[in-house]
Amino acid sequence: MAAVAHPLFGRYVHLAGSASKSRDAALIRYAHDLVRGITTEILRSGGGLVLFAGKEPVQAADIPDSPAIIFDWTILEAADSVASQGRLPWPHTRPPLVVAISEKAEQELPRHRRALWEKLLQAGLVRVEYIQPGARSGAMLRERQAQYGSVLVCIGGGTGVEHLADLYQARRKPVIPLDLPIGAKSCLFFIADFSSLISKGKKPS
């Protein structure tokens, strides 16, 4: 009997979120470990990822090894690790990673991350989606991301993640909130909004 493909096989999962600088550092590190694990399982299951790339702000710049408050570079690190192990069963010719970015954000890529960025590009693992030249609108970036993702998984975050949830719900795509208390807002309000959407007979695609 032929094996049944994983539900995420060939689909893009959008991982989004951030941590507030006021949260406990240990909890933020745990969130990075969680995101790393989720990324690894998605890619090993034949799924792809949608994300952003740019700066990597940390919780406290004056404290060595302070954790980053965004997860994009953790995702890219994990993707590189999975690819290096030869465990990327992505079924399409297009790259498994879609990164929405502005010209300004690309110029602000951290120096210590540029080698990883170039490695992923040269390996053909990243599709870079630029918004219009000169623009830096977060809303435009999120609109572009929502065009690719089949499902949104959010962890922490604030108004930007709330906007993404609205975009996915409007497209009748699933929103999966991980209620880890690290962001400026709780993810629980996404659950309420999505439950309301389903109750009106609009099933996610």
- What would the pLDDT profile of 97-141 be if each residue is shown by its tens digit? 999 999 889 999 999 999 999 999 999 999 999 987 765 688 999
Q: Most confidently modeled of 37-41, 86-90, 128-132?
A: 37-41
pLDDT at position 184: 65
Mean residue pLDDT across the chain: 88
The 3-state secondary structure of 90-146 reads: CCCCCCCEEEEECHHHHHCCCHHHHHHHHHHHHCCCEEEEECCCCCCCHHHHHHHHH
pLDDT at position 174: 95
Q: Distance between CA atoms of 22 and 96, rounded to whole angstroms?
A: 34
Q: By CB neighbour count within 10 A (0-12 exposed, 13-18 middle, 19+ buried), where does 44 fall?
A: middle
The position carrying tokens 């959407």 is 197
pLDDT at position 185: 59
Q: At what angle do helices 138-148 and 159-170 cross, to 10 degrees?
A: 40
More confident residue, 191 or 133: 133
The answer to whether the predicted template modeling score (pTM) of the entire model surpasses 0.85 is: yes
Let me know: does 32 contact 76? Beta carbons within 8 Å: no
Q: At what angle do helices 114-122 and 72-84 cross, to 10 degrees?
A: 50
